[in-house]
Amino acid sequence: MATVGFIGFGVMGAPMATNLAKAGFDVVGFSRTPERVSNLASDGITLASSLEALVHASDVVITMLPDSPDVEDVVLGDGGVFANAAPGLLYIDMSTIRPDVAVRIAQSAEAKSINALDAPVSGGEAGAVEGSLSIMVGGSKEAYERARPVLTAMGRTIVHVGPAGSGQTVKAANQLIVAANLQGLAEAVVFLEAHGVELPSALEVLGGGLAGSAVLERKSQNMIERSFNPGFRLSLFQKDMGIVQAAAREKGVTTLLGSLLAQMISSLVARGDGDLDHSAMIRLVDELSRT
Amino acid sequence: MATVGFIGFGVMGAPMATNLAKAGFDVVGFSRTPERVSNLASDGITLASSLEALVHASDVVITMLPDSPDVEDVVLGDGGVFANAAPGLLYIDMSTIRPDVAVRIAQSAEAKSINALDAPVSGGEAGAVEGSLSIMVGGSKEAYERARPVLTAMGRTIVHVGPAGSGQTVKAANQLIVAANLQGLAEAVVFLEAHGVELPSALEVLGGGLAGSAVLERKSQNMIERSFNPGFRLSLFQKDMGIVQAAAREKGVTTLLGSLLAQMISSLVARGDGDLDHSAMIRLVDELSRT
């Protein structure tokens, strides 16, 4: 089987790389913060001594990094992935970054005969550990077919959604919908509590009708208990909603709800809640209400 | 089996009454607009000559009317349901009205030894026809137990959520969540179209992750096709969001998202879209964007 070079061993990246190794791929890892990767050997992952060594050893390179500048630096920078890559490399960025940056990376890849895909994920830490992520893939159909066996080791719903950048665009739409569903649920929970309604019964009947959603199913317990262990950090959600706003503006789309949601999330982060799970959006509703 | 008096033969009420008759109840109907009920006999429903005659013939009386004043008039008015009722009547209001009006009706019922429940529904015309409605019930546990066989003929998820008014409170929360999920989806669809993403693939992968919802499943096709046959009319949605705002204010709950959503829906109704399905919320996104 192919050798996969993996860069980015955070909350999501570490279990994703482990699942690749479990599926039988030879996985090579590299990190600029060595303490992050010191215990990878027990998961069947080999450590590379440098980014250059990782790229030379790999048929496929995957990045899973926090934000657009991180990816640009590691991939396009001096001594980065593309500087060391031979023609024919398959490069898959699974980070959530700006669609226009994903397009720029794809153009740069094409000039070097590298196959590039943007393939961000949804499903959180649990999905990464279980290998049940949803993966939205942008790029050429050929590169997508080549990547499928690798992606299948990490996800369950894997869909090619269009040319380069499309994966990031769909991920941005995903975050916009999730933010709307979270805030709608948060306001509903505070409203029901203020009226003294039995929450578990109310959520049962709400979940059975048109108000039912994955957010209601997976996040209402956090909200009721005001327990916000991540999960998915508000600081990353703020970054993602910034991507939504920029990508909407670029195409002349007005997202009234999206911009209010972005402001709400920014307010929570500004006031110190950036490390809480995104179900903590209910804190703003609490603070603005008589509770 | 018990005799059920049914008042309100609109899009929802007519199939609900028919399902009661199918389940073996003796159903008696009355309407102030006789053309509404002229063909009920074929559905096994007997017509009463007056509201008084309907109440005298019935063990259970159900109302399914458009708004709070309609219910107050029919139930509390001179010659209305309560004026004609004997002690022990079971009265179930399945309309969507203000929680405080439901509480007032329950107090009035108690003074006359009538069992009253507020039991609004979710699931739309399809749910009413199939008998698969979600029914959220407020009132005493005893009245709820007495009503269960009747409600089971019309719905699938039937939950007692608390004392009088609680059913309406949960329905208001339902509409708040549905409005947020609809507008989030609408902005995401316009955003994806503007970026040229393949919508069916995008919606498949979005539906498999944390963005998945009943709204995404049942309403995205309407939005993509810009086809807005009701369904559930924006004019009724506007009324419901007014209930949400009033009930939130009453308890000191601030719903920033809810108030923006209420304004958006009011704008659509003011501009002539009141008879369209609520998936037509996407029209406002279209009009504010470069499309």
Would you give the DSSP letter of residue B7? E
Phi, psi of B162, rounded to the nearest 5 degrees = 150, -170
pLDDT tens sequence for chain B (291 residues): 899 999 999 989 999 999 999 999 999 999 888 787 877 878 889 999 999 999 999 999 999 999 999 999 999 999 999 999 999 999 999 999 999 999 999 999 999 999 999 999 998 888 999 999 999 999 999 999 999 999 999 999 999 999 999 999 999 999 999 999 999 999 999 999 999 999 999 999 999 889 999 999 999 999 999 999 988 999 999 999 999 999 999 999 999 999 999 999 999 999 999 999 999 999 999 999 986
CA distances for B240 relative to B37, B52, B153, B224, B248, angstroms = 26, 30, 25, 25, 12
Give CA separation, B263 vs A189, A259, B179, B232, B238, in Å: 21, 16, 11, 18, 9
Task: Report residue A55 as tokens.
Answer: 């790229």
List A233's β-bridge partners, or say none: A277
User: How buried is A93 (Cβ within 10 angstroms: 0-12 exposed, 13-18 middle, 19+ buried)?
Assistant: buried
**Side chain identity at B83, as an amino acid letter?**
A
Write b or e for each residue in B133-155: b if 16 or more Cβ atoms lie within 10 A of its Cβ, otherwise e: bbbbbbbbeebbebbeebbebbb
Residue A10 CB burial class (10 angstroms; 0-12, 13-18, ≥19): middle
Task: Please indicate whether, in this complex, the C-beta atoms of A201 and B161 are within 8 angstroms of each other.
Answer: yes
- For B246, which residue in chain A has the nearest alpha carbon? A191
Distance from CA of A149 to the nearest CA of B (A): 18
Q: How far is the C-alpha of A136 from the C-alpha of A141, rounded, in Å?
A: 13
Q: Are strands B133-138 and B121-122 parallel, antiparallel or unpaired?
A: antiparallel
Chain A residue with CA closest to B121: the answer is A209
For A239-291, what is each residue's pLDDT tens digit? 999 999 999 999 999 999 999 999 999 999 999 999 999 999 999 999 999 86
B241-254 b/e (C-beta count within 10 Å ≥ 16 → b) = bbbbbebbeebebb
> 3-class SS at A77?
coil
Q: Residue B254: which of A158, A213, A285 has the nearest Cβ?
A: A285
Residue B171: closest CA among B83, B84, B240:
B240
The band of A231, judged by pLDDT with boundaries at 50, 70 and 90, is confident
User: Are residues A242 and A262 in contact, defined by beta-carbon separation less than 8 angstroms?
Assistant: yes
Collapse the DSSP code of B27 into the 3-class scheme (helix H, G, I; strand E, B; otherwise coil) and give the result: strand
Collect all residues of chain B within an 8 Å Cβ-Cβ radius of residue A151: none
Using a CB-CB distance cutoff of 8 angstroms, which residues of chain A are in contact with residue B191? 169, 172-173, 176, 244, 247-248, 251, 253, 255
Cα B286 from Cα B267, distance rounded (Å): 14
Partner residue opposite B184 with nearest CB, options A180, A210, A290: A180
Q: Which residues in A277-290 are b (16+ Cβ under 10 Å) and which e?
A: bbbbbbbbbbebbe
- The answer to whether residue B171 is catalytic is yes
Q: How far is CA B86 from CA A202, A212, B101, B143, B148, in A?
A: 32, 40, 22, 16, 21
Contacts of B100 in chain A (CB under 8 A): none
In this structure, what token pair is assigned to residue B285? 């996104």
Distance from CA of A103 to the nearest CA of B (A): 12
> Sign of the CA dihedral B262, B268, B274, B278?
negative
Cβ–Cβ below 8 Å for B253 and A212: no
C-beta of residue A282 within 8 angstroms of C-beta of residue A264: no
Residue of A170, A178, A206 with shortest CB distance to B177: A206
For an interface test with A, give the residue of B210, B278, B288 to mutate (most A CBs within 10 A).
B210
Contact A160 B201 (CB under 8 A): yes
Which residue in A157, A252, A256 is closest to B290 by CB distance? A252
Residues of B in contact with A156 (CB under 8 A): 208
**Catalytic annotation, residues of A:** 171
Calculate the average pLDDT of chain B: 95
Q: What single string gives the DSSP state of each residue in B40-87?
A: GGGGTEEEPSSHHHHHHH-SEEEE--SSHHHHHHHHHSTTSHHHHPPT
State the DSSP code for A287.
H
Cβ of B256 within 8 Å of Cβ of A251? The answer is no
Interchain CB distance below 8 Å, B215 and A215: no
Chain A interface, mutation test: which of B170, B198, B241, most A Cβ atoms within 10 Å?
B170
The percentage of residues in chain A with a pLDDT greater than 70, rounded to a whole number, is: 100
Contact A162 B205 (CB under 8 A): no
Do B174 and A136 count as a contact with CB atoms less than 8 A apart? no
Q: For residue A251, give the nearest of B187, B194, B202 by CB distance.
A: B194
Interface A–B counts its CB contacts (< 8 A) at 286
Helix axes B166-194, A256-268, angle to 10 degrees: 110
- Which tens digit of pLDDT belongs to each residue from A66-117? 999 999 999 999 999 999 999 999 999 999 999 999 999 999 999 999 999 9
Tell me the domains of chain B and their CATH numbers: 3-162 (3.40.50.720), 169-288 (1.10.1040.10)
Residues 6 or more apart whose Cβ sits within 8 Å of residue A230: A11, A125, A275, A276, A277
Distance, CA of A234 to CA of A175 (rounded, Å)? 12
CB contact under 8 A, B165 and A195: yes
- Nearest residue of A to residue B244 by CA position? A191
Cα distance between residue A126 and residue A114, in whole Å: 32
The complex's ipTM works out to: 0.94
